[in-house]
Structure 1
Amino acid sequence: MESQKTALILIGYQNDYFSPDGVLYKVIEESSKVTNVIANTVHLLKCLASSPTLIVTTPIFFTPNYEELIEPIGILKTIKEVNAFQMGTPGSEAIAELHSFEDRILEVPGKRGFNAFINTNLDQILKQRGITDIVLAGAVTSICIDSTGRAAHEKGYHVTTLSDCTSARTVFEQEFYCSTVFPLYAQVMTNRELLERLNFTVYI
């Protein structure tokens, strides 16, 4: 695993998920706290900030009338019902903890569903930069993380999911996906194990 060929993909680090007043905060609150997701992600970003690792965020946005969603079901239906991730609203904005890394994070717009490769130019960006390894962090573990990870694997990337930088709907779900589902197509490791793999020897 080489830093210059690795991309950290941040998924769902928006206020509606991770801020206490976010409309979907309760969905991942327990899992996020148990694994200390925000603190671990910030630690990782601090370490990678001066490295050649590509850091990408793929926020999800919708217009006020959710015209992008045609007869949505499941979590997308819930997102529409609670008016989450509306473009231009505080809930759709990146969490405050990411603000100090804005100059290091490349925002790739267009995500409207689970898979960060759909309706975006993410794959093109990664290929242009010679990326071979994808590292996933964010929410929701069983939905956007899994969907994006499978797509990345099918596109030929080596996939790593960070067990302590991803949030699920329950602690059980988080543990189940990390122990049983992700290993079918990806490596699972903590942020510190990733840093060791990338030859970082000093932790912040």
Structure 2
Amino acid sequence: MSSPTPADALLLVNMQNSFCAPAGVMYAPFGPALQDIDEIIERCAEVVAFARAAHTPVIYFRQVFQPGYADYGPLEPHVQRLLVARGGLTAGTWDAAIVDGLKPADGDLVVDGNRRDAFYGTSLEILLRSMGVRHLALAGVATNSCVETTARSAAVRDYAVTVLADCTTSRSSGHRRLSLTTMSEYRIAGIATGGPTLFRD
């Protein structure tokens, strides 16, 4: 269902070369790539244009790690081994950068973190509070991982959240569908499609 009020900010999660570009380290490391990712990039670009036209802040969250991966943590050691072997998601590299077609413009904001939650250990909440954001629109990848984790984290901080269903995807259509259904039925987030109704002055 569409949100009844405009979003105060747009947050794009993990729209990085590593996940979204065929040469990316995390593009298809252990199975299928993110479904319909080229179309998702195009739809995200359209939504970014709507947000900018409405003077709505656009924020990019990047998952990045320090050289040497001292900040990686103990979980998923097989993923860490892959990242170490190929230099994936290292801060300052092409792999960690925002994918072509969604490059931040002057005035956009970029938040870096090293967990699936865009709030955890980052400046995101300070930015949102400082800008008076109460309603956050979410897009990005993957629906059932970093997007849902960030939506839950925003909800427990008392933000209204709208996930843009046509601007997010997963490696499995079933996982994407279940994630969107769960967020909607448990009132974690409203589910909408990106467009001018969500971003207006």
The two structures have a TM-score, normalised by structure 2, of: 0.86
What's the counterpart of residue 187 of structure 1? Answer: 190
Segments of 5+ residues of structure 2 without an aligned counterpart are none
Instruction: Say yes or no: does 1:32 pair with 2:33.
Output: no
Instruction: Say yes or no: does 1:43 pair with 2:51.
Output: no
Secondary structure at the counterpart of residue 133 of structure 2: coil
Q: Name the CA shift for 1:144/1:182 in 2 (closer, same or farther; >3 Å).
A: farther
Instruction: Say yes or no: does 1:84 pair with 2:88.
Output: yes
Q: 1:108 aligns with which of 88, 102, 111?
A: 111
Give the number of aligned pairs.
194
Task: Tell me the CA shift for residue 78 of structure 1.
Answer: 6.4
Identity rate, percent: 23
Equivalent pair of 2:63/2:116 in contact (CA under 8 Å)? no
What's the counterpart of residue 164 of structure 1? Answer: 166
Query: Cα deviations across residues 61-108 of structure 1 (Å, max 9, x unaligned)?
Result: 112210002322278546635542012221111111122x42142112
Equivalent pair of 2:61/2:111 in contact (CA under 8 Å)? yes
1:94-105 pair list within 5 angstroms: 94-99=98-103, 101-105=104-108
Equivalent pair of 1:32/1:166 in contact (CA under 8 Å)? no
Distance 2:102 2:68 in 1: 28
Secondary structure at the counterpart of residue 98 of structure 2: coil
**Structure number having the greater helix percentage:** 1
Task: Tell me the CA shift for residue 28 of structure 1.
Answer: 6.5
Instruction: Say yes or no: does 1:62 pair with 2:65.
Output: yes
Task: Tell me the CA shift for residue 166 of structure 1.
Answer: 0.9
Q: Name the CA shift for 1:78/1:174 in 2 (closer, same or farther; >3 Å).
A: farther
Query: Cα deviations across residues 27-56 of structure 1 (Å, max 9, x unaligned)?
Result: 6635234x9211100111122222221110
Distance 1:183 1:28 in 2: 28
Q: Name the CA shift for 1:28/1:83 in 2 (closer, same or farther; >3 Å).
A: farther
Secondary structure at the counterpart of residue 106 of structure 2: coil
What's the counterpart of residue 196 of structure 1? Answer: 197
CA RMSD for the aligned pairs?
Answer: 2.3
Secondary structure at the counterpart of residue 36 of structure 1: helix
Equivalent pair of 1:8/1:55 in contact (CA under 8 Å)? yes
Task: Tell me the CA shift for residue 119 of structure 1.
Answer: 1.1
What's the counterpart of residue 123 of structure 2? Answer: 121
